[in-house]
Amino acid sequence: MILQGKNAIITGARRGIGRATVEAFASYGANVWACARKADPAFEMDMKAVADKYGVSVWPVYFDVTNETEMKTAVNSIRKLKISIDILVNVAGIADDSTSFQMTSLEKIKHVMAVNFFAVSLLTQYISRLMARQRFGSIINIASIAGLDGAPAQYEYAASKGAIISGTKNLARELASYNVRVNAVAPGMIATDMGNQIDEELKKNILSKVIMNRLGKPEEVADVIAFLASDLSRYMTGQIIRVDGGM
């Protein structure tokens, strides 16, 4: 129960790595604000089932991460509860389809940056202010091996994750004096909707470099996020942890 009694905000909670993180956190004893883009009865039922299974609270919260007004309203609704926010996990992200750099429009680059970097920056700003005031917190960003190593035909995605990596290292330095830690995981190829949308040829190519010779599971990323969120990693900040089956 490494997260017993902690309260965590997790974005991208409806599916993939975000959904797995909600379940992992609940199983380790955390209460979760599960953030999804839109209100959805199936999501509400799913979150209630997770809460009942582990005996914790899972509160659905709705906002599109690129909509500043919606995000502000959601943050205010969380803040008004006057419960400590121990953990923020920025999972929501997009990859977009692969296009050669020379054919990638500026609009597409801006769109991917808006979701993967600007939205993460704004939410982190709101929540880190509250964490700084309470003098504790752990923030975990989801980067990607693309942000560390590059990825063919994914210029804007790799750049957005590169920005997350620099931002993580930078904020770790800025927030350490408030006892707020900032780390990131850099997943390799994970079996989610996003992972499965990768072109078959590219997938084969990436897999040939994975020592464990298989795709990762969202739960395997979620467990590393839980470790970084917990006090088990209390002397770690500014780190980017690869979760890629060995490459």
Of 132 and 202, which has the nearer Cβ to ligand NAP? 202
How far is C-alpha 209 from the chain's CA centre? 25
Of 141, 145, 213, 218, give the one whose Cα is nearest residue 172: 141
Provide the strand spans (E) within the chain.
Answer: 7-10, 31-36, 58-62, 87-90, 137-142, 180-187, 240-243
Q: From the candidates 126, 155, 157, 235, give the one annotated as an active-site residue.
A: 157
Task: Write each residue from 189 to 208 as x if it is in contact with ligand NAP (CB under 6 A), else as -, in one continuous string.
Answer: xx-xxxx-------------
Is residue 146 within 8 A of residue 92, CB to CB? The reply is no
Minimum distance from residue 21 beta carbon to ligand NAP (Å): 9
Minimum distance from residue 221 beta carbon to ligand NAP (Å): 7
60 lines the binding site for ligand NAP (CB under 6 A): no
Query: Given CA atoms 108, 244, 216, 60 in this order, what sign does their dihedral have?
Result: negative
34 lines the binding site for ligand NAP (CB under 6 A): no
Q: How far is CA 98 from CA 91, 105, 175, 202, 233, in A?
A: 20, 12, 35, 10, 35
Q: What angle do CA 242, 175, 85 make, to 5 degrees?
A: 85
Of 5, 27, 19, give the one whose Cα is nearest residue 194: 19
Of 114 and 132, which has the nearer Cβ to ligand NAP? 114
Task: Write each residue from 115 to 144 as x if it is in contact with ligand NAP (CB under 6 A), else as -, in one continuous string.
Answer: x--------------------------x-x
65 lines the binding site for ligand NAP (CB under 6 A): yes
Among 2, 14, 31, 163, binds ligand NAP (CB under 6 A): 14
Residues 92-111 that bind ligand NAP (CB under 6 A): 92-95
Q: Any catalytic annotation for residue 157?
A: yes
219 lines the binding site for ligand NAP (CB under 6 A): no
Of 15 and 79, which has the nearer Cβ to ligand NAP? 15
Minimum distance from residue 12 beta carbon to ligand NAP (Å): 3
91 lines the binding site for ligand NAP (CB under 6 A): yes
Q: How far is CA 91 from CA 124, 133, 193, 209, in A?
A: 12, 24, 14, 25
Length of the chain: 247
Active-site residue numbers?
A: 157
- The residues of the shown chain that bind ligand NAP, judged by CB under 6 A, are 12, 14-18, 36-37, 64-66, 91-95, 115, 142, 144, 187, 189-190, 192-195
